[in-house]
Chains A and B, each alone.
Chain A
Amino acid sequence: MSALERQQRGLLDLIKGRGAPPQDAYFAQVAHSAGLVMVREIALWWRAMQLDVQCRYTSRLLKRTSRFEGLVAAYFDAHATSSFVEELSRDFLQTLQTDADVLVAATAGFEYALMEAHADSSESFEILWDRDPDAVVVALEQRSALPPPDADWTYRMRVGAGVPNLVRCSRERKQFRVDNVREPIP
């Protein structure tokens, strides 16, 4: 490994909080520097700002539970983030689709699917919601209270470039299906 490779890999690890504490004198100096804190803060700030704009509903939802900044940092540390904002946003949303909070997972899945549909992907996506997604979107848009989980209904949403108006949603009784196709979310 060349000196330059060692230097750049070492700085990447320090910025992303990876690896063991450095033994090398220069890296130890960097590790204890205020500059490292600032470099990391700026890197996270840029990504948070981009994700806030691109992932409008997911970021608003995560901010309600003070999880947004932590998840952005965790994503930055663990992934090779793209410099293209669309790729950054899609990758970030993809990591959230297995989130333990089903509402976060559904919202991230919805925004991810919309991005794909707008990009004319031939893929279509199905997202299950535990509450009315229209009401969720309105609450996030208006910054009002979120609707509670629906005890009786599951909401099955289909998103894709081939879906009329990109989005269709139907609801099903938790025990049996009822055909009740709703209007697309505007």
Chain B
Amino acid sequence: MFGNRADSGRRRELALAATYEGDDPVLLERIVDLIDTIEIAPDAIAQSRGGRRLRSEILAEYASVADRVNFIAHGVGLSIGSYASWDTTYLELLDELFSRIELAWHSEHLTCTMVGGENVGSMLSLPHTEEALELVCARVDALQRRYPVPFLLEHVIRLLPQAPGTYSQAGFLNALTSRTGCGLILDAYNLRCDAINHGLDVEAFLAELDLAPVRELHVAGGVQHKGFQLDIHSRPVADDTFALALDIIGRAPNLRIVTYEFLKEAVDSLGHDAICAELSRLGRVIGR
């Protein structure tokens, strides 16, 4: 068991995190001095060969820097909003991760990726209905009983028309956090995507949202394709996303971590230098 290092220097109100999914020790060594926390996606470091489990070689990479950074988990495949069942395989991976690493908290996307046991191939946003809210709240409660650290949910971008519902997007999140006590991740890039793709009024959303449960902020950069801004973290952070992130940092009173997310598949095209430059830029903003 490793992680959750004792305070090794000056305490900061706001910590900087980055995605790291393994297999690139040169990158790890370069970013580890620029950040406080590594974001681990359990599904992204898992393999199914010889049983579904976490890759031991990547866990060893994390162990090698455990005296220098903390760890948080951020899942992709739990499918907390599926009508039938969430993905129990993800929970098994999370169990394994908790048994190996001390995590400051864990989080998931507020989405449905599995329908009737079938992978949708996308992250579907949920209808803002009482039925969906009750389903997710019950599962959040179960997660909070199962694991001894805070649980956070992140809103996802929406590409499809919004299904009819009784809550606004912010109202749905407010009800979710007030009923369960769970935390929130705000993703500045996702909000920019929603603004570009279907005209989300980000200022109105933030004005309605209870920002007290927001513990983590995600920033990323992506591409436009056929008129859509895509949730594919493959670019440096655009200026408008950066400005929005600064605005949220100033408004969310309990924000603790800012995470720069990039896809493992995009590391080659981004380049180590660009990733480190983004982390340095963010580090300066949060006073690191």
Looking across the interface, which residue of chain B has its beta carbon closest to that of A76?
B121
Measured between beta carbons, the chain A residues less than 8 angstroms from B120 are 11-12, 15, 43
**What's the nearest-Cβ distance from chain A to residue B85, in Å?**
11
Chain B residues 80-135 with CB under 8 Å of chain A are 82-84, 87, 112-113, 115-122, 124, 127, 129, 131-132, 135
Q: Is A178 an interface residue (CB 8 A)?
A: no
- State in angstroms the CA–CA spacing of A15 and B124 once bound together: 11
Judging by beta carbons under 8 Å apart, are B83 and A5 in contact? yes
Chain A residues 2-55 with CB under 8 Å of chain B are 2-5, 7-9, 11-12, 15, 26, 29-30, 33-44, 46-47, 49
- State in angstroms the CA–CA spacing of A83 and B199 once bound together: 31
Judging by beta carbons under 8 Å apart, are B124 and A11 in contact? yes
Chain A interface mostly helix, strand, loop or mixed?
Answer: helix
Q: Is A176 an interface residue (CB 8 A)?
A: no
Chain B residues 247-269 with CB under 8 Å of chain A are 265
Measured between beta carbons, the chain A residues less than 8 angstroms from B265 are 49
Q: Quick one: CB contact mask for B128-153 with A, threshold 8 Å, 1 for yes?
A: 01011001000000000000000000
- Say whether, besides A12-B115, A35-B161, A4 and B122 are in contact (CB < 8 Å): no
Judging by beta carbons under 8 Å apart, are A43 and B121 in contact? yes
Measured between beta carbons, the chain B residues less than 8 angstroms from A15 are 120-122
From B112, B135, B228, contact of A35 by CB (8 A):
B228
- State in angstroms the CA–CA spacing of A120 and B135 once bound together: 41
- State in angstroms the CA–CA spacing of A82 and B124 once bound together: 17
Judging by beta carbons under 8 Å apart, are A4 and B228 in contact? no
Judging by beta carbons under 8 Å apart, are B227 and A34 in contact? yes
Q: Quick one: CB contact mask for A40-80 with B, threshold 8 Å, 1 for yes?
A: 11111011010000000000000000000000000010001
Judging by beta carbons under 8 Å apart, are B122 and A9 in contact? no
**What's the nearest-Cβ distance from chain A to residue B48, in Å?**
4
- State in angstroms the CA–CA spacing of A35 and B117 once bound together: 23
Judging by beta carbons under 8 Å apart, are A26 and B163 in contact? yes
**What's the nearest-Cβ distance from chain A to residue B200, in Å?**
14
Judging by beta carbons under 8 Å apart, are A87 and B48 in contact? yes
Judging by beta carbons under 8 Å apart, are B49 and A86 in contact? yes
Judging by beta carbons under 8 Å apart, are B131 and A3 in contact? yes
Interface size class of A (residues with CB under 8 A): 35 or more
- Say whether, besides A8-B112, A9-B116, A80-B117, A38 and B226 are in contact (CB < 8 Å): yes
Q: Is A119 an interface residue (CB 8 A)?
A: yes
Judging by beta carbons under 8 Å apart, are B82 and A35 in contact? no
Measured between beta carbons, the chain B residues less than 8 angstroms from A124 are none
- State in angstroms the CA–CA spacing of A141 and B119 once bound together: 32
Judging by beta carbons under 8 Å apart, are A8 and B225 in contact? no
Measured between beta carbons, the chain A residues less than 8 angstroms from B225 are 38
- State in angstroms the CA–CA spacing of A38 and B52 once bound together: 31
Q: Is B220 an interface residue (CB 8 A)?
A: no
Looking across the interface, which residue of chain A has its beta carbon closest to that of B87?
A83
Measured between beta carbons, the chain A residues less than 8 angstroms from B129 are 3-4
From A7, A42, A83, contact of B127 by CB (8 A):
A7
A-B contact pairs, 22 of them (CB 8 A): A4-B132, A4-B135, A8-B116, A8-B124, A12-B116, A12-B120, A15-B122, A30-B161, A34-B227, A35-B160, A38-B228, A39-B121, A39-B122, A39-B159, A40-B121, A43-B122, A81-B118, A82-B119, A83-B43, A83-B87, A84-B52, A86-B48
Please list the residues of chain A having a beta carbon within 8 angstroms of any beta carbon in chain B.
2-5, 7-9, 11-12, 15, 26, 29-30, 33-44, 46-47, 49, 76, 80-84, 86-87, 118-120
Beyond A11-B115, A30-B160, A40-B121, 4 additional contacts (C-beta under 8 Å) are A12-B120, A42-B159, A80-B117, A120-B50
Please list the residues of chain B having a beta carbon within 8 angstroms of any beta carbon in chain A.
43, 46-50, 52, 77, 82-84, 87, 112-113, 115-122, 124, 127, 129, 131-132, 135, 158-161, 163-164, 197, 225-228, 230, 232, 265
- Going nearest first, the 3 A-B pairs with the smallest beta carbon separation are A43-B121, A84-B48, A80-B118
